[in-house]
Structure 1
Amino acid sequence: MTATKALDMLFGHSATTGDITVRVAVNYLAEQSAPGEDRWFWSYHIRIENKGKGPVQLLGRRWLILDGRGIASEVIGEGVVGDMPVIAPGSSYDYVSGCPLATPTGSMEGSYQMVAENGDAFEVEIPKFPLQGPAV
């Protein structure tokens, strides 16, 4: 099995923009959810891979979160999990975060705002991924 196939199995969702690939693995967390109180919680693991020739820095993020009723929320902010990582060529940056919803299903997608070593700013796609709670 190739390394790329193994990553595709671990991270079920990916998108590539230029030399940057964003991979996502998502997990429903039953122990942090309370369906009787309309609260479902997921963790997501993001890996950002730099396949370019120079370093890039992640400056910000924009998330579009859609719940099971079709209600959208937008989250815009600096960095990720309190960090504005510089990702060297040929390396990656991983982080884990979470998302609560008031419905047992939904989805997330978005983009990262990044800057190259030469100062050029660019946007990188975060692939859409489903948030699915236990079978009802």
Structure 2
Amino acid sequence: MKVEARLFDVTTSFFILSAIVYGVWSKEPVGTVALILTGGLSLIVGSYFHFVARRVERRPEDNPDAEISDGAGEVGFFSAGSYWPVTLAASGGVSALALAFWQVWLLVIGLVLVLMSVAGLVFEYHTRPNATD
């Protein structure tokens, strides 16, 4: 997690420095505030990664002397045949179009579809405990 934390430290520094330079050169407050807020959001994520990096064991990505084989093994479970990501993307697209054209009725439908898609994705492999019939 230290690699990710450093990455966000660099982006935070870049956005804050860009905000200072932009604010001095342009004298335009909206862009300066946007760059400062972007740097603040990057700082939040970087702080989270610093917080987590202290509590998890060291990963091969954090060791500069690590070999490729040190990272071998199971990474996680990824569903190869799930259609829920497609439904989530489609419902997000419907919601974005409804928001762009400000069609409130379609936005409500799109948000309901997004919530249903997220629930389907989260609970796709959830099985209830052995229930007695």
| TM-score, normalised by the number of residues in structure 1 | 0.21
Select the structure of larger CA radius of gyration.
2
Which is strand-richer, 1 or 2? Answer: 1
Structure number with greater CO (CA < 8 Å, separation at least 6) is 1
| TM-score, normalised by the number of residues in structure 2 | 0.22
Which is helix-richer, 1 or 2? Answer: 2
